[in-house]
Structure 1
């Protein structure tokens, strides 16, 4: 990749600075190796076309793509001792970055090849290492976006929870006033959304660690995150209607029965509704289990 994706997203962050320093150090290492080669006139003449390409690459703006090309062009110029040393160094890098089976393949193959074959295999190893690094950086990019976007959804859910009935034009648009049925419906949906966002935030670390790059590609997308938020909102809404209809009753549940004089204005009702709607968003199984249990009860009653 021309530029590291993380540096594009956070160009002024500490990560971007560290990335720039790594690139600078890589160029220093390459330049040091190349200058040693240039001291040998016969080798320079022998590989004049490659030397010309390397010189042009050093004149271009510094980038990881250009550094990778320089690295590839240096392979045929190495002497046998230099080639063996480079292979040992790259095998150490490969052990950390490549899969175990890939590393074992390269480690076993290099000992049985002649110089030309070693050069070809080292070039291939370079490509695999660069690809592994690009995938790693892409994963970091997806991870950063997932954290930022999940945090944004959580902040928006808090705004919806606390402010939806406080902002006059929104309250007028939705025809709700503080403490009425519409306010409770919005509160239930917002609490469900907040529960889902909170669940995603606290499980994010473990989820990222076990996810492949394909999984990260999906879970970082706004449409995926919004679908999770929508599930939380619907869960909160369904739970509200479950309470209002009397499907769920008990001392630990809000009482929205017609006999309850507080109905939608009681602080206890509001608190219980918020807690349960938050839990419904936080737990992916609560509302589905409730629906399954309701379906089973209906089926059993019909059979009787």
Structure 2
């Protein structure tokens, strides 16, 4: 198989697998929105990270060596992993935002309910994950932007975490 044929095969697989993954994310997102009547922020983050990973691999594909192209052209799983990693990195970044580890004017702020005192309950956790939202429309846009970038750049999340204040080293 020629290099061009491998590139076309990988691109086709990327489009198919990313399309299926996005369809599943949108489907789950839609079900939770309809059933629970709430916007599930984590699904939106994962979907944007998935798209970021897809765009990233598409841009880098032509620079891959023959050995990498051979592996990707033979394995559906390897092709799917790259965008899925993007979704996972987006979720890790989302958790960093929620925890306050990553904050500042360039990052989204969130509104959430306070936990019970002195001991948080299971209901507090459920409410935190289902009812914590970006504080404004601009914060929603920031979250989606950073989620896409987390998927697009494999090194972004580790670099941000390395630069967080209070990190011992």
For normalisation by structure 1, the TM-score amounts to 0.43
Which of the pair has the greater relative contact order for Cα pairs under 8 Å at 6+ separation? 2
| Residue equivalent to 1:113 | none
Q: CA deviation at 1:237?
A: 0.5
User: Any stretches of 5+ residues in structure 2 without a counterpart?
Assistant: 114-130
| Alignment RMSD | 2.9
User: Any stretches of 5+ residues in structure 1 without a counterpart?
Assistant: 1-136
Q: CA deviation at 1:163?
A: 4.3
2:49 and 2:149 in contact (8 A); partners too? yes
SS in 2 for 1:291: helix
1:193 and 1:233 in contact (8 A); partners too? yes
1:246 and 1:257 in contact (8 A); partners too? no
Measure the CA separation in 1 of the matches of 2:27 and 2:105: 29
Q: CA deviation at 1:176?
A: 5.1
Are 1:165 and 2:29 matched, yes or no? yes
| Residue equivalent to 2:20 | 156
| Residue equivalent to 2:97 | 243
SS in 1 for 2:13: helix
Higher helix proportion (structure 1 or 2): 1
Q: Which residue of 55, 70, 79 corresponds with 1:198? A: 55
Number of aligned residue pairs: 150
Q: Which residue of 263, 284, 290 corresponds with 2:154? A: 284
Measure the CA separation in 2 of the matches of 1:271 and 1:161: 19
- Correspondence 1:55-134 to 2 at 5 A: none
Q: Go from structure 1 to structure 2 and tell me whether the alpha carbon gap of 1:225 and 1:192 turns closer, same or farther (over 3 Å shift).
A: same
Measure the CA separation in 2 of the matches of 1:254 and 1:162: 22
Q: CA deviation at 1:149?
A: 0.8
For normalisation by structure 2, the TM-score amounts to 0.73
Q: CA deviation at 1:161?
A: 5.5
| Residue equivalent to 1:111 | none
Measure the CA separation in 2 of the matches of 1:256 and 1:148: 38
Measure the CA separation in 2 of the matches of 1:141 and 1:186: 34
